[in-house]
Structure formats: structure tokens, C-alpha cells
């Protein structure tokens, strides 16, 4: 299936590792031009070398989106290099464990800002270019936004906010033909997830326990499965899909886990 995204330009925050890396690779495989906004120098550098060897046009902006100025810089650099922007994937963020009992009000506000603020910033500055091309936006959220997790109020509030912004932006941007959707993973093996697993005395046992609760195949979702859905939503093949919250989780969130 031709997704019709060849030579289009997509910004991916946190695009050098984990789910973001898989999204970057999948876009590149489909012929898109990729702008990776990620402070990971080693991972980003390796990805750029790989893309260059395959003739993929790409740009790595080794910055963490810590404020509006960084988002503006990223958008300006992307446009300066490629002369267009066709889509944004908001993906960067981390579960920092700031909870109601173990965090302060200041910690909570900082956590929400860290995980939600840059979603707004990047789209805000990219919007003039997205309007020109009837672009597409995909927000990566988390099943914890609808299930809760415990002891992570800041991250969950941000993830819930991402889902609300998806619906709000889908309404606001209808008049420009810009589509906005969210993809919601549950259990996906990423470097951050692996670090969390390794915090247990027996990581392998913990992993098996989790996999048993995932109805479809009793296995973790692959990062590539998330990426395939994201790239489809960015493409013209999903031209009448907007304001949707898509769970790519093997039924983890909604099906009876006794299955």
C-alpha cells in the first residue's frame, strides 16, 4: 500500500529511542524525510548514519524540549532544511513517579509541564506550515491516562491532557483540513520500560506476569506495531480519521485479562 508520504517532512519528538525511534525508522522506510528532536547524541547519531547510508534525508536536532524557545528552534531548523512541514508526532516524555503522597505541589507542576507543555509548543510553532499542507498530528499518550497507575500523578495528568488536546485540536483545526489523533500504547518494551523492569528483584518473572495479562498473544506490544499505526494516521490513507484515540495494546486496556 502506497501511503503517499514520500518526501513529506515529519517532526518526531523523542525520535531517537524506543517508540520514537521505531516511528522515525518506519517513516524513513516509507520515503518520508525525518526530523528527530531528541537529546540522545549517541542514539541519534547512529540513526543519522544509518539513514545517510540508505539515502534517507533526515535531520537530528539534539535538544530536549524544555521550553517554547527550543520548540521554535526545532521548527525553524526543520523548515530551513526542508522547506515544508507535513506532520508532527508528539512522543517525548517519561514517567517520573511524582505521586500525590511522594511529591510536592512544585514537583507535580514540573512533571505536568515536562510531559505536556512541549506537545503544545511544538504544534503551536509548526502550525503555520501544517496549514499550508493540510498536515497531520499524532499524540502518543499512555493507557495509564484512562486506567491510572498509582504514585505518578504528574505523568498521568499530562497523559490525560494529551488525550484532551487531541480532541480539542481536532475540532479547532477542522477548518484547515488538519487531522489530529492519538495513539495509546500499554505494555511496550523500550529502554525506559526495560530500566523499570530491572528495578525488580526478578525482572524475568515480572515480565512473564505482565505478559500473561495481555489478552492478544500474551505478549508485549512491539514498538513497530505502534509505529505502523502512527505512520498510517499521518498518511493520506487515513484521510477521514480525526479526533480518534487508538489503543494499540493487544486488548490490555479493554478486554477481560482473564482471557
Query: Under DSSP, is residue 37 helix (H, G, I), strand (E, B) or coil?
Result: strand
C-alpha cell read off for 26:
518506519
Q: Which letter does DSSP use for residue 214 in this model? A: -
Report the domain count for the chain.
Answer: 2
Do 49 and 142 lie in one domain? The reply is yes
Do 124 and 208 lie in one domain? The reply is no
Cα–Cα distance between 231 and 46 in angstroms, integer? Answer: 22
Q: Residue 81 in contact with residue 135, Cβ under 8 Å? A: no
Do 195 and 99 lie in one domain? The reply is no
Please calculate the CA angle 83-35-175 and round it to the nearest 5 degrees.
60
Q: Residue 99 in contact with residue 120, Cβ under 8 Å? A: no
Do 140 and 241 lie in one domain? The reply is yes
Do 31 and 90 lie in one domain? The reply is yes
Domain assignment present for 93:
yes
Cα–Cα distance between 61 and 81 in angstroms, integer? Answer: 12
Domain assignment present for 71:
yes
Do 76 and 196 lie in one domain? The reply is no
Do 182 and 194 lie in one domain? The reply is no
Question: Domain range spanning residue 201?
Answer: 188-220
Would you state the pLDDT for residue 111? Answer: 98
Complete DSSP assignment for 54-109: TT--EEEE-----SHHHHHHHHHHHHHHHS---EEEE---------TTTS-HHHHH
Look up the CATH number of the domain holding residue 25: 3.40.50.720
Q: Residue 176 in contact with residue 134, Cβ under 8 Å? A: yes
Do 199 and 236 lie in one domain? The reply is no
Within the chain, where are the H helices? Answer: 18-29, 41-53, 68-82, 105-112, 118-133, 144-147, 153-172, 191-197, 203-212, 223-234
Do 146 and 182 lie in one domain? The reply is yes
Total residue count of the chain as it appears in this document: 259
Query: Under DSSP, is residue 3 helix (H, G, I), strand (E, B) or coil?
Result: coil
**How many CB atoms are located within 10 Å of the residue 153 CB?**
21
Do 194 and 104 lie in one domain? The reply is no
Domain assignment present for 253:
no
**One pLDDT digit (tens) per residue for the chain, 259 residues:** 899 999 999 999 999 999 999 999 999 999 999 999 999 999 999 999 999 999 999 999 999 999 999 999 999 999 999 999 999 999 999 999 999 999 999 999 999 999 999 999 999 999 999 999 999 999 999 999 999 999 999 999 999 999 999 999 999 999 999 999 999 999 999 888 898 899 999 999 999 999 999 999 999 999 999 999 999 999 999 999 999 999 999 999 999 877 6
Choosing from 79, 119, 125, 155, the catalytic residue is 155
Do 127 and 164 lie in one domain? The reply is yes
Would you state the pLDDT for residue 192? Answer: 84
Domain assignment present for 2:
no
Do 216 and 227 lie in one domain? The reply is no
Domain assignment present for 252:
no
- 129 part of the active site: no
β-bridge partners, 185:
248
Would you state the pLDDT for residue 1? Answer: 83
Would you state the pLDDT for residue 146? Answer: 97
Domain assignment present for 94:
yes
Would you state the pLDDT for residue 196? Answer: 85
Domain assignment present for 254:
no
Domain assignment present for 125:
yes
Amino acid at each position: 500500500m502506497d501511503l503517499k508520504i514520500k518526501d513529506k517532512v515529519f517532526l518526531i519528538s523523542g525520535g531517537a529511542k524506543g517508540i520514537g525511534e521505531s516511528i522515525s525508522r518506519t517513516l524513513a522506510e516509507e520515503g518520508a524525510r525525518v526530523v528527530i528532536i531528541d537529546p540522545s547524541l549517541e542514539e541519534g547519531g547512529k540513526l543519522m548514519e544509518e539513514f545517510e547510508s540508505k539515502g534517507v534525508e533526515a535531520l537530528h536536532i539534539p535538544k530536549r524540549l524544555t521550553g517554547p524557545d527550543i520548540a521554535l528552534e526545532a521548527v525553524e531548523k526543520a523548515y530551513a532544511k526542508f522547506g515544508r512541514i507535513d506532520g508532527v508526532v508528539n512522543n517525548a516524555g517519561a514517567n517520573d513517579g511524582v505521586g500525590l503522597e511522594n511529591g510536592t505541589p512544585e514537583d507535580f507542576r514540573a512533571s505536568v509541564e515536562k510531559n505536556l507543555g512541549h506537545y503544545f509548543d511544538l504544534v503551536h510553532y509548526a502550525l503555520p506550515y501544517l496549514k499550508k499542507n493540510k498536515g497531520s498530528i499524532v499524540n502518543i499518550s499512555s493507557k495509564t491516562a484512562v486506567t491510572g497507575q498509582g504514585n505518578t500523578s504528574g505523568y498521568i495528568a499530562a497523559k490525560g491532557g494529551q488525550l484532551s488536546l487531541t480532541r480539542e485540536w481536532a475540532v479547532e483545526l477542522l477548518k484547515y483540513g488538519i487531522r489530529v489523533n492519538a495513539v495509546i500504547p500499554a505494555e511496550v518494551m523500550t529502554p525506559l520500560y526495560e530500566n523499570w523492569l530491572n528495578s525488580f528483584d526478578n525482572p524475568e518473572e515480572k515480565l512473564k506476569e505482565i505478559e500473561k495479562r495481555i489478552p492478544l498473544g500474551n505478549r508485549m506490544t512491539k514498538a513497530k506495531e505502534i509505529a505502523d499505526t502512527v505512520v498510517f494516521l499521518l498518511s493520506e490513507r487515513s484521510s477521514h480519521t480525526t479526533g480518534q484515540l487508538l489503543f494499540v495494546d493487544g486488548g490490555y486496556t479493554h478486554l477481560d485479562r482473564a482471557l
